[in-house]
Amino acid sequence: MNSIDSLPPDFFEDVTLHKLDHRAGRYNITTDQYYVFGYQDQFRGIKKAYNDDSPPFYLLHKETFEVTRRVFENLFGYPPDQVKVYHDENKTWNAFIVGSSALTRYEQSAAFEPENTFAKAAPFVHFPLIGGINNYDLDKNPAFFYLIATPFQKDYGSVLTLDNFRFQKEEDKSLLFSTNRDYSLFALSDIIAKQFKKSEREFNDLLNSIQNQRINSWEFAPVVLDLYNKNRNPESILIDNTLRQRVRKLHMDAQKHLRRQHEVPWTEFIHFITRYNQFELYKGLQLESVEELFSKKEAFQKFDKAFRVFLEYPERFTSYVQSQVNDWQRIERFL
């Protein structure tokens, strides 16, 4: 990630918004119902009017960035100083990840060098990030994300989305139609931060609850296969070479993750899921890749739901693990 101060002063364009008064390229539309985003004489995007007779629901890229920064500051008490920015050539869309160097102090700690990262007594080391994505194209709405990241290794980052905010309530959208735009952005930041604060508490409670719960290393990979919903039906494995390769790779990755430990805490499942969502930190990502990066991972949602139950009913965990091991043993010889 780079210093926020390294962003050029003119990085965010002074985009203008006006009604469409002619057909634009491939868009065959009714002119009174659409607005065009432009920068000087360059086309940036187009959106449909809100309720047919008012400007569209939108945020500018600069406003999305400012809200992302304010959410981070509201949550953690001080402004972010690190940022990673992604955008397309025409700047139709922008995506941001902001963080703080004060919350990445573990990155340089000798206790968490690669060879020691999975030491038996090591806690689940992570730090929080806030993400935002904005798009001027048709039905693409802005969205914000609460992420956690494990310490970056070389040129790679690993993040996991815990929560997102996508303007699903009309009252949240209505904020952006206020005549006082600055007030609206502050109010929006507070709403998002309040939602994310609840997610932060729930995640920290989960970590505290499972830190001392342990699983044998040879049981870890079979459970990972279930978290990722891999089909372990022997007949399917036999006839589907693609499935066979995917199951084999995921199992090997899970084994490699443990670095030959004999017993690990349940937090290693979260660590593995986070690392499995790895991306190249300094490489430009396409919009689809950014959206995938910010998506909630089904494996984590399944883990969160199931393992909270196991904390209350430990006997269910024993039965569950044995079932996953049995499934693995039925297909192992076919791989």
Question: Are the CB atoms for 83 and 1 separated by under 8 Å?
Answer: yes
| Model pLDDT for residues 97-138, shown as the tens digit of each residue | 999 887 654 333 333 333 333 334 346 778 889 999 999 988
C-alpha distances (whole Å) from 79 to each of 74, 102, 142, 326 are: 8, 10, 21, 50
Return the structure tokens found at 321: 């693990």
Residue 46's nearest CA partner among 17, 87, 22 is 17
Give the Cα separation of 273 and 106 in Å (integer): 19
pTM, rounded to two decimals: 0.86
DSSP 77: S
Q: How far is it between the farthest Cα atoms of the chain?
A: 68
Give the Cα separation of 191 and 163 in Å (integer): 13
Q: What count of other Cβ atoms lies within 10 Å of the Cβ of residue 66? A: 19
DSSP 34: E
Give the Cα separation of 117 and 125 in Å (integer): 9
The pLDDT-based confidence of 53 (bands split at 50, 70, 90) is low
DSSP H helices in the chain: 61-76, 170-174, 181-210, 217-227, 234-239, 241-258, 267-276, 287-293, 298-312, 314-331
| Model pLDDT for residues 286-321, shown as the tens digit of each residue | 888 889 889 999 999 999 999 999 999 999 999 999
Give the Cα separation of 97 and 64 in Å (integer): 11
Q: What pLDDT shows up at residue 17? A: 87
| Model pLDDT for residues 13-33, shown as the tens digit of each residue | 999 888 876 555 555 555 557
| Model pLDDT for residues 155-208, shown as the tens digit of each residue | 667 889 999 999 988 888 888 888 888 999 999 999 999 999 999 999 999 988
Give the Cα separation of 19 and 88 in Å (integer): 24
Return the structure tokens found at 115: 């060879």
